[in-house]
Structure 1
Amino acid sequence: MLDRLAPALFVLLWSTGWVAAKYGGIYSDPLTFLSIRYATAAVLFAVLCRISGVRWPKDAATVAHAVVSGTFLHGFYLAAVWWAVGQGVPAALSGIIAALQPLMTALAAPYFVGERLSRLQKIGLLLGFAGVAIAVLPKFTDVGHAGIPAFAILVNVLGMASVTYGTIYQKRHLHSGDIRAIATLQYLGALVVTLPQAWLLEPLEFEFSWGFVALLAWSVLGISMGAILLLLYLIRRGQVSRAASLIYLVPPLAAIEAAIAFGEELTLPMIAGTVIVVAGVYLANRKVPRAAPAE
């Protein structure tokens, strides 16, 4: 049952991160908020591990791999994306950049973890990117290029490359160990990245209010814990490129959520793009028969 529900639940929870990012700027600077979020998530995961009697990794290599993967999966990735959006990169453009991640993962997976994709899976990955572009590109062109800092776009691209490497690193080096313990160590690794950045670049201030508490609670419980546990589960259970292809569904879903939460226009290209994305994800996640030759 979980195998069937996990992909849909992950996409739904993860897509709300775009809405959380937009709200986050109301209460604090992005790196400060992420540092608080990661610290809270690490503490709650540690408590969960304690209550559940989770066995912590005994070898130093597993601990190190978990921390390093966290620096890329959460630390550098979200720090880059949130900072770039705060510097003026439109959410639509950021979504297009994020949609490159599954394609990059699929292209790199054969070299790093020995995965092979069928022709249909490759077509699915390309369809996924095309669908995201159709869904969000018109929204981006309405904004105009003049006000978008080139350096912020570059940082956003580096964030995409970071999560791509982190996904492959996780698949290559973390084959065992309780995912709750792994997640705890990963958030410690993420905190190692974001806290020094926040200290250097931001005043480390935030507006404490019920809105801040509610946003932090959802960001930690819904996204940092719920969505990430599902992502780690998907990576461990299936091909890394298949798990990554689910990211294609996030930008169109985020556009729908933004239309509901902020009254943003939901256009026909967004709806058409979403349909194409779903088709692409279906093809990319199709199981390849064992007898079929690898391409």
Structure 2
Amino acid sequence: MTTSTLTTASLHRPPASSASTLPPAPPAAARADRLGAFVALSLPALFILLWSTGYVAGKIALPHAGPFTLLALRFGLAAVVLLAVSAATGAPWPKTARAWMHLGVVGLLMQVLHFSGVYCAIAWGLPTGVAALLIGMMPLATAMGAHLWLAERMSVAQWLGMLGGAAGVALVIVDRPLGGGAWMAYGAGLLGLTGLVAGTLYQKRFCAGMDLRTGSGIQMTVSALAVLALALWREPGAPDWSVELLGATLWLGLVNSIGAFSLMFVMIRRGQAGAVAKLFYLIPGVSALMGMGLLGEHFGALALAGFVVSAASVGLASMSRASG
């Protein structure tokens, strides 16, 4: 290197001490960045954990109340809390009758049809892990619904994931023979999956801009009234108001109906719907482990293999979708 080159380079090279003279990042901003990163990572995992507890809490409560009665208590409690929060915080309400109608339809699909199917399935003998396994097909079933209803394209990975997930469910069914009313239990679980998928797609299309407080409050109010009518029609007997029922109702109404669904809507607003899809396949396994540890449920080797096949299929398809 010549002397002229060295001289020219030295004119453009910053002083050695210039890096040390730069002002350090404000501690408050650095802490805020770290907190934001922690929240972004923890919200999906917390959502999966809270969602999974709903299956266990539901099974604990169902011996003490019918499915529709339990749902009326759950949705009614959530509605009261959400409407009170909306009034106290001055949350905006929908401005048109059409917006109110759309929120009501989402409530009937995502809450009433979904949870009625799940709770009836559990009440008719379906283990919590198997019920969660059916609902855990939600990411791929939603992709299929979006393909049919919204003309969205499904990737090859999603088609393969759908087949693998169905194969996993089939292994679980083979391990647990469908005798007596078992067909009704599986059918109710699939009906619950249909409600969740249809509600998700409907909300995505018609209610994306809803206020979390008033929108959820309206959905829960409509849902509570609907299942209350079903409870009065199909379950005339009063619940026994046991400690298990009261505790499970508080957990389902506050933690699941408000906490888990609010987390899901927050993540969608933050653009983290892909993170939910990537972790959603963990729900069946987490629910099955909770059922085994807390409820004494048992699964054979074939059923456990089905859980693994289904989780791997849904997880790989969801991750491929998120990265694509």
Q: TM-score range by the shorter chain?
A: 0.7 to 0.9
Query: Which residue pairs with 1:249 in the alignment?
Result: 282
User: Which residue, out of 78, 85, 88, partners 1:41?
Assistant: 78
Determine the C-alpha separation between the residues in 1 that align with 2:279 and 2:166.
11
Pairs within 5 Å for 1:257-272: 257-265=290-298, 270=304
Determine the C-alpha separation between the residues in 2 that align with 1:262 and 1:114.
42
Pairs within 5 Å for 1:160-199: 160-199=193-232
2:318 pairs with 1:281: no
Q: Secondary structure at the match of 1:203?
A: coil
Q: CA deviation at 1:9?
A: 1.3
2:141 pairs with 1:104: yes
Determine the C-alpha separation between the residues in 2 that align with 1:58 and 1:207.
41
Pairs within 5 Å for 1:87-102: 87-102=124-139
Q: Which moved more, 1:252-261 or 1:268-277?
A: 268-277
Aligned alpha-carbon RMSD (Å): 3.0
Pairs within 5 Å for 1:71-82: 71-82=108-119
Q: CA deviation at 1:47?
A: 1.5
Work out whether residues 56 and 181 of structure 1, in 8 Å CA contact, stay in contact via their aligned partners in 2.
Answer: yes
Greater Rg by CA: 2
Determine the C-alpha separation between the residues in 2 that align with 1:168 and 1:101.
11
Q: Which amino acid aligns with 1:154?
A: G
2:64 pairs with 1:27: yes
Q: CA deviation at 1:170?
A: 0.6
Q: CA deviation at 1:107?
A: 1.1
Q: CA deviation at 1:202?
A: 0.3
2:249 pairs with 1:212: no
Query: Which residue pairs with 1:201 in the alignment?
Result: 234
Structure 2, unpaired ranges of 5+: 1-36
Determine the C-alpha separation between the residues in 1 that align with 2:50 and 2:179.
33
Determine the C-alpha separation between the residues in 1 that align with 2:126 and 2:307.
21
Work out whether residues 139 and 277 of structure 2, in 8 Å CA contact, stay in contact via their aligned partners in 1.
Answer: yes
Determine the C-alpha separation between the residues in 1 that align with 2:42 and 2:65.
34
Q: Which amino acid aligns with 2:87?
A: R
Work out whether residues 72 and 190 of structure 1, in 8 Å CA contact, stay in contact via their aligned partners in 2.
Answer: no
Fraction of identical pairs, as percent = 31
2:259 pairs with 1:226: yes
Determine the C-alpha separation between the residues in 2 that align with 1:241 and 1:104.
15
Q: Which amino acid aligns with 2:261?
A: I
Query: Which residue pairs with 2:15 in the alignment?
Result: none
Work out whether residues 140 and 314 of structure 2, in 8 Å CA contact, stay in contact via their aligned partners in 1.
Answer: no
Determine the C-alpha separation between the residues in 1 that align with 2:252 and 2:75.
10
Q: Which amino acid aligns with 1:217?
A: L
Q: Secondary structure at the match of 1:145?
A: coil
Q: Which moved more, 1:236-245 or 1:97-106?
A: 236-245
2:90 pairs with 1:56: no
Deviation per residue, 1:20-59 (Å, 9 max, x gap): 1210123211110110110100000112222333222222
Query: Which residue pairs with 2:104 in the alignment?
Result: 67
Work out whether residues 38 and 188 of structure 1, in 8 Å CA contact, stay in contact via their aligned partners in 2.
Answer: yes
Q: Which amino acid aligns with 1:281?
A: G
